[in-house]
Amino acid sequence: MAAESIIVSCPHCGAKNRLPANRWGDGRAVCGRCKSPLPPSRLYPDRPVRITDNTFAGEVLGFEGPVLVEFFSPRCGHCQRLAPVLYDLASAYAGKVKFVTLDIDQDHMIASQQGVNGTPTLFFYNRGRLVDRVVGAVPREELVRHLEGLKG
């Protein structure tokens, strides 16, 4: 039986690397192409990672763990009020859930394909599959409930 693995893009050269699940945080993983370290923070950073239409598939659909995606607009007041909550949750769930943000003013293709009509919109993915969605700014406790549902 093969060990579970994930695909991690190297932050230095962009090469895709298959990483065994049991090596997720050991700090010894290196890129197969350029031999640069693949930091554990790349897998589950302690703050949201900015993605684009071009990186969505690799960062979200190709990720073998839970991911929260925030579709936001910098001009949106609700998004601005939700940002500190997401930063706090990203820190609290570091090592467990990956948090990413996509600015729909700059990158609107994925938002359009996913049927995002307003901001903030939060999508919850697990193993590349959409499992939940929340539209609008909701209280922290509601987000925690959705995040806990991702782990199950």
pLDDT at 75: 95
- The answer to whether residues 127 and 84 belong to one domain is yes
76 burial via Cβ count (<10 Å: 0-12, 13-18, 19+) = middle
> Which residues are known catalytic residues?
76, 79
- The answer to whether residues 61 and 116 belong to one domain is yes
- The answer to whether residues 60 and 119 belong to one domain is yes
Write out the two tokens for 39: 């930091």
The gap from C-alpha 116 to its chain's centroid, in whole angstroms, comes to 17
The gap from C-alpha 82 to its chain's centroid, in whole angstroms, comes to 16
Mean model confidence pLDDT for the chain: 86
Query: Residue range 129-134: average pLDDT?
Result: 96
Q: How many domains does the chain have?
A: 2
Q: What is the CATH number of the domain that holds 116?
A: 3.40.30.10
Q: 96: pLDDT confidence band, cut at 50, 70 and 90?
A: confident
Q: What letter would DSSP give residue 30?
A: B
- The answer to whether residues 76 and 142 belong to one domain is yes
Domain coverage including residue 74: 44-151
Predicted model pTM: 0.73
- The answer to whether residues 99 and 143 belong to one domain is yes
